Chains A and B, each alone.
Chain A
Amino acid sequence: MHDMSAHAAQHGAATSFIRKHVFSLDHKVIGKQYYALALVAAVVGMFLSWLMRIHLGWGNFAIPGLHLLSSVGAPGDVMTPEYYLQLMTMHGTIMVFFVLTTAPFAAFGNFFLPIQTGAEDMPFPHFNMMSFWVTFVAFLVMVAAFFVPDGPTLGGWTQYAPLSAVGAIGGPGQGLGVVLWAASIGIFCIGQLLGSLNFITTTLDMRCKGMSLMRLPLSAWGWFITSIMGLTAFAVLMPACILLILDHLAGTSFFVPSNLVINGQILPHSGGSTLLWQHLFWFFGHPEVYIAIVPGMGIVSHVLITNMRRPMLSHRVLIYSMGALAVLSYMVYGHHMFVSGMNPVSAIAFSFPTLVITIPSTIVVLIWLGSLYGCHLRINSASLFALGFISMFISGGVSGFFLAQPSLDIMLHATYFVVGHFHLVMGVAAMFGIFAGTYFWFPKMTGRMMNETLGQAHFILSFIGAYCIFMPFHYLGMAGNVRRYQAFTDDYLIPLIPVHKFITISALVTGFAQLIFIYNLIYSRFKGPLAPNDNPWEGTSLEWSTATPPPHNNFGDKMPVVYHDPYQYSVEGASADYVMQTSPEKIASPNEEK
Chain B
Amino acid sequence: MATTVHEPPKIDLDRLPSQGSGNGGGRNPVPAGGDLRRIKPSSPPPASTGIWVGLAAITMTFAAFTSALIVRQGSGPDWQHFALPSILYLNSLIIIASSVTLEIARRHITSFMVSKTEGAAPAGWLYITLCLGLLFVAGQTFAWLQLRSQGFGLATNISYSFFYVLTVAHATHLLGGLGGLVRVIGKLNHSTLRRSTLNATSLYWHFMGALWLYLLLLLWMKL
B70 vs chain A, min Cβ distance (A):
10
CA separation between A213 and B33, bound complex, in Å?
20
Pair B22/A232 contact, Cβ less than 8 Å: no
Contact of B20 among A4, A117, A561 (CB under 8 A): A4
Residues on B with C-beta less than 8 A from A7 are 17-20
- How many chain B residues touch A (CB < 8 A): the figure is 53
The chain A residue sitting closest to B65, CB to CB, is A239
Pair B39/A6 contact, Cβ less than 8 Å: no
A560 vs chain B, min Cβ distance (A):
9
CA separation between A232 and B71, bound complex, in Å?
20
Interface residues on A, range: 35 or more
Over the window 9-28 of chain B, the binary record of Cβ atoms lying under 8 Å from chain A Cβ atoms (1 yes, 0 no) is: 00000000111111111111
Over the window 102-115 of chain B, the binary record of Cβ atoms lying under 8 Å from chain A Cβ atoms (1 yes, 0 no) is: 00000000000000
Pair A258/B39 contact, Cβ less than 8 Å: no
Pair A561/B22 contact, Cβ less than 8 Å: no
Pair B21/A272 contact, Cβ less than 8 Å: no
Pair B18/A8 contact, Cβ less than 8 Å: yes
CA separation between A117 and B34, bound complex, in Å?
20
Pair B64/A283 contact, Cβ less than 8 Å: yes
Residues on B with C-beta less than 8 A from A196 are 53, 57
The chain B residue sitting closest to A4, CB to CB, is B20
The chain A residue sitting closest to B74, CB to CB, is A273
A80 vs chain B, min Cβ distance (A):
33
With A123-B46, A193-B57 already in contact, the answer to whether A208 and B25 are too (CB < 8 A) is yes
A89 vs chain B, min Cβ distance (A):
23
Residues on A with C-beta less than 8 A from B68 are 239-240, 243, 254, 276, 280
Contact of B50 among A2, A201, A246, A586 (CB under 8 A): A201
CA separation between A204 and B24, bound complex, in Å?
8
Contact of A239 among B20, B61, B161 (CB under 8 A): B61
Pair A586/B32 contact, Cβ less than 8 Å: yes
CA separation between A209 and B28, bound complex, in Å?
7
Over the window 214-251 of chain A, the binary record of Cβ atoms lying under 8 Å from chain B Cβ atoms (1 yes, 0 no) is: 01000000000000000110011011101100100011
A486 at the interface (CB under 8 A from B): no
The chain B residue sitting closest to A236, CB to CB, is B64
Pair A120/B25 contact, Cβ less than 8 Å: no
Pair B30/A209 contact, Cβ less than 8 Å: yes
B175 vs chain A, min Cβ distance (A):
15
Contact of A273 among B47, B63, B72 (CB under 8 A): B72
Q: Which residues from 27 to 65 on chain B have a C-beta closer than 8 Å to any C-beta of chain A?
A: 27-34, 36, 39, 43-50, 53-54, 56-58, 60-61, 63-65
The chain A residue sitting closest to B30, CB to CB, is A210
CA separation between A201 and B45, bound complex, in Å?
9
How many residue pairs at the A-B interface have CB separations less than 8 Å? Answer: 191
Pair A254/B161 contact, Cβ less than 8 Å: yes
Residues on B with C-beta less than 8 A from A250 are 154-155, 161
Residues on A with C-beta less than 8 A from B57 are 193, 196-197, 231-232, 235
With A8-B18, A210-B39, A563-B31 already in contact, the answer to whether A124 and B154 are too (CB < 8 A) is no
B138 at the interface (CB under 8 A from A): no
Of the listed stretches B75-83, B87-95, B144-152, name the one at the interface; the rest are far from the partner chain: B75-83
CA separation between A7 and B23, bound complex, in Å?
13
Most buried by A among B17, B25, B26, B63: B25
Pair A586/B75 contact, Cβ less than 8 Å: no
Over the window 566-585 of chain A, the binary record of Cβ atoms lying under 8 Å from chain B Cβ atoms (1 yes, 0 no) is: 00000000000000000111
Residues on A with C-beta less than 8 A from B22 are 119, 123, 205-208
Residues on B with C-beta less than 8 A from A583 are 32
Pair B58/A235 contact, Cβ less than 8 Å: yes
CA separation between A239 and B161, bound complex, in Å?
13
B182 at the interface (CB under 8 A from A): no
CA separation between A440 and B55, bound complex, in Å?
36
B117 at the interface (CB under 8 A from A): no
CA separation between A123 and B51, bound complex, in Å?
12
The chain B residue sitting closest to A211, CB to CB, is B25
CA separation between A431 and B71, bound complex, in Å?
37
Pair B72/A207 contact, Cβ less than 8 Å: no
B203 vs chain A, min Cβ distance (A):
15
B79 vs chain A, min Cβ distance (A):
7
Pair A6/B18 contact, Cβ less than 8 Å: yes
Pair B61/A586 contact, Cβ less than 8 Å: no
Pair A272/B46 contact, Cβ less than 8 Å: no
Pair A273/B154 contact, Cβ less than 8 Å: no
A10 at the interface (CB under 8 A from B): yes
The chain B residue sitting closest to A268, CB to CB, is B155
B168 vs chain A, min Cβ distance (A):
10
Pair A246/B154 contact, Cβ less than 8 Å: yes
The chain A residue sitting closest to B160, CB to CB, is A252
CA separation between A258 and B64, bound complex, in Å?
23
B165 at the interface (CB under 8 A from A): yes
Pair B64/A273 contact, Cβ less than 8 Å: no
Pair A204/B49 contact, Cβ less than 8 Å: yes
A275 at the interface (CB under 8 A from B): yes
A258 vs chain B, min Cβ distance (A):
6
B3 at the interface (CB under 8 A from A): no
A383 vs chain B, min Cβ distance (A):
29
Residues on A with C-beta less than 8 A from B54 are 197
With A200-B49, A207-B26 already in contact, the answer to whether A586 and B18 are too (CB < 8 A) is no
Pair B64/A562 contact, Cβ less than 8 Å: no
Residues on A with C-beta less than 8 A from B33 are 563, 584, 586
B158 at the interface (CB under 8 A from A): yes
B86 at the interface (CB under 8 A from A): no
B4 at the interface (CB under 8 A from A): no
Residues on B with C-beta less than 8 A from A232 are 56-57, 60
Q: Which residues from 159 to 212 on chain A have a C-beta closer than 8 Å to any C-beta of chain B?
A: 193, 196-197, 200-202, 204-212
CA separation between A587 and B33, bound complex, in Å?
10
CA separation between A270 and B75, bound complex, in Å?
10
CA separation between A586 and B28, bound complex, in Å?
18
With A8-B18, A210-B30, A235-B57 already in contact, the answer to whether A201 and B46 are too (CB < 8 A) is yes
CA separation between A205 and B56, bound complex, in Å?
17
A11 vs chain B, min Cβ distance (A):
11
A510 at the interface (CB under 8 A from B): no
Over the window 129-160 of chain B, the binary record of Cβ atoms lying under 8 Å from chain A Cβ atoms (1 yes, 0 no) is: 00000000000000000000000001100100
With A193-B57, A201-B49, A243-B165 already in contact, the answer to whether A210 and B28 are too (CB < 8 A) is yes
Pair B56/A231 contact, Cβ less than 8 Å: yes
Pair B20/A235 contact, Cβ less than 8 Å: no
Pair A201/B53 contact, Cβ less than 8 Å: yes
Q: Which 10 A-B pairs have the closest CB atoms?
A: A271-B76, A210-B30, A123-B46, A273-B75, A271-B78, A235-B60, A211-B25, A251-B155, A119-B21, A236-B64
Could you give 17 example pairs across A and B, Cβ below 8 Å? A118-B25, A119-B22, A197-B57, A201-B53, A202-B46, A205-B49, A207-B26, A210-B25, A232-B57, A239-B64, A252-B155, A253-B155, A254-B161, A258-B78, A276-B75, A585-B32, A586-B33
Instruction: A207-B21, A208-B21 are known; give 12 further A-B pairs, CB within 8 A.
Output: A204-B49, A205-B24, A205-B43, A207-B22, A215-B25, A215-B29, A235-B64, A239-B61, A239-B64, A250-B154, A273-B72, A587-B32
